[in-house]
Amino acid sequence: MFELAVDVPVVWFTLRVAALAVLLLAPFGLALALLLARRRFPGKALLETLVSLPLVLPPVATGLLLLKFLGRRGPGGRAARSLFGVDLVFTWKAVVVAMMVMSLPLLVRTARVAFEEVNPRLEAVARTLGASEVRVLSTVTLPLASRGIAAGLLLAFARSLGEFGATILVAGNIPGRTTTIATAIYNDVQTGLDGRAYGLLAVSAALAFGAIFLSEVWLKRRTNA
Amino acid sequence: MTLSLEGFRLPLTPFALELDVTLSAHVTAVFGPSGAGKTSLLEAVAGLRHPQRGRIVLSGRVLDDAAGGVRVPPRQRAVGYVTQDDSLFPHLSVAGNLRYGAGRGVARKAPLGEDRIVDTLGLASLLDRSPATLSGGERRRVALGRALLSTPEILLLDEPLSGLDRPLKVRVLEHLLKIKAAFPLPILYVTHEAAEVEALADEVVVLDAGHLVARGAPADVLRDGAPGRSDRHLAG
């Protein structure tokens, strides 16, 4: 017997860090997607593999790599300390980084397909009409790829909301500080707070359903256009 | 206006486009069978491909010089390039398409005038439409208008009548003749239809497998029989 309850602060925290992760990831991820869609260069296959690695590597293994990289003695951790004077691991910032790394492949793969579907001829014609590269990107490439980009961002957001394995290693599961929906469900089940676990289950199912549904709708409409 | 290709070589498969020619007619038809290298020639003049050897000079201005490392980017060439598939921007209205290249920074001369272009091509009633709702002939006219509005120094037309049914061909051809009469603008006109050459061109160069095999006045060149000559579908 349990009473259904929604842990609102955890939901709110998860939504905010996931949104921040996608926001920070977007410029980098989209640039990477465009690069992979439009350019040929040595080492491209290697870069493609690295980008997709978080899809198939056990998330906990990715988390361990991140922990070593972002830890006090890791290169990322040392850089963050000397540049910004902050520690990353076991803080909300590490949650953001874990979400970014884990959702990178979904954003890049979806956006890349969207960019590849933009007819390069249209970009070429825009150039002959006097458009600079920035103008071609902002008035032709991005608008024509916008649905796929939006779908990719939404998928990345959904993936971030559900992130567990990498997060728990690099940010831990500190109630009120780094606990997200996913790690809270784990906590609640372990400590027998079934009502809270099911409440969060309902919330995350609704969020995931909404995000996937919307991204499917966007991708469909783009293909039919 | 003169367009010169000097010692020009552009590798294609399975041959190379190799030309040494100076063109100065008002409308020059580039005639020849499919796969002769006609579209590649337009792309090179537009700056979308670059020669391996040689130079492209438009009215005294060097656009490409392989030896000298000159590669003027497409946006600075002032060429009005109309592709075979018309390449209208699907997310912009007809007006948005027409104005995309208007007011470009590289124009060296006075614009041709939007009203005049819209009038000549009969586009006034289409301005608010989306390209997806246009007929094939309307799309060609919008693409022509868009190129003209960018104040080009030369118009590059890649088979502007291909894929249209016969009545539409005749109508778009009429618009091309109007453009020729209304604007003193050199035109490089790619086609594999002899009838179009006769109707529009002042001079014709015949390409086959990347080489110039004949050139001269359309009547003379076509009478002597050009390779890949097709039926005179526009006659009558």
Q: Say how many CB pairs under 8 Å bridge A and B.
A: 56
Domain ranges of chain B: 23-35+78-223
Q: Decide if B100 and A139 are in contact by the 8 Å CB cutoff.
A: yes
CA atoms of B89 and A124, how far apart (whole Å): 11
Query: What's the rounded Cα separation, in Å, for the pair B217 and A66?
Result: 72
CATH architecture of B23-35+78-223: 3-Layer(aba) Sandwich (3.40)
Of B74, B87, B106, the CB nearest to A122: B87
Chain A nearest-CA distance from B60, in A, is 19
Residue spans of the domains in chain A: they are 8-224
Q: Each residue of B22-47: pLDDT tens digit?
A: 999 999 999 999 889 999 999 999 99
- Residues B197 and B21 sit within 8 Å (Cβ to Cβ): no
In this prediction, residue A102 has a pLDDT band, given cuts at 50, 70 and 90, of very high
CB contact under 8 Å between B147 and A129, yes or no, is yes
Amino acid found at A156: A
Amino acid at A145: A
Q: Which residue of B has its CA nearest to A127?
A: B75
**Are the C-beta atoms of residues B189 and B200 closer than 8 Å to each other?**
yes
| For residue A215, pLDDT beyond 60 | yes
Residue predicted with more confidence, A71 or A3: A71
Residue A89 CA to chain centroid, in angstroms?
A: 18
Other CB atoms closer than 10 Å to residue A51's CB: what's the count?
19
Beta strands in chain B (DSSP E): 3-11, 16-23, 27-31, 53-58, 61-65, 70-71, 79-82, 154-158, 187-191, 203-208, 211-216
**Cβ separation of B85 and A121 shorter than 8 Å?**
yes
How far from the centroid of its chain's Cα atoms is residue B45's Cα? 10
Query: What is d(CA A222, CA A144) in angstroms, rounded to the nearest whole number?
Result: 9
* Residues of B with Cβ-Cβ distance to A121 under 8 angstroms: 83, 85, 87
Task: Tell which residue, B218, B194, B193, B196, has the closest CA to residue B205.
Answer: B218
Name the burial class of residue B127, with classes exposed (0-12), middle (13-18) and buried (19+) by CB atoms within 10 angstroms of its CB: middle
Burial profile A58-86: b = 16 or more Cβ within 10 angstroms, e = fewer: ebeebbbbbbbbbbeebeebeebeeeeee
From B174's Cα to the closest Cα of chain A, the distance in A is: 24
Residues A8-224, CATH architecture: Orthogonal Bundle (1.10)
pLDDT confidence band for A218 (50 / 70 / 90): confident
Predicted local confidence at residue B113, as pLDDT: 82
pLDDT by residue (tens digit) across A142-183? 999 999 999 999 999 999 999 999 999 999 999 999 999 999
Cβ neighbours of A137 in B, within 8 Å: none
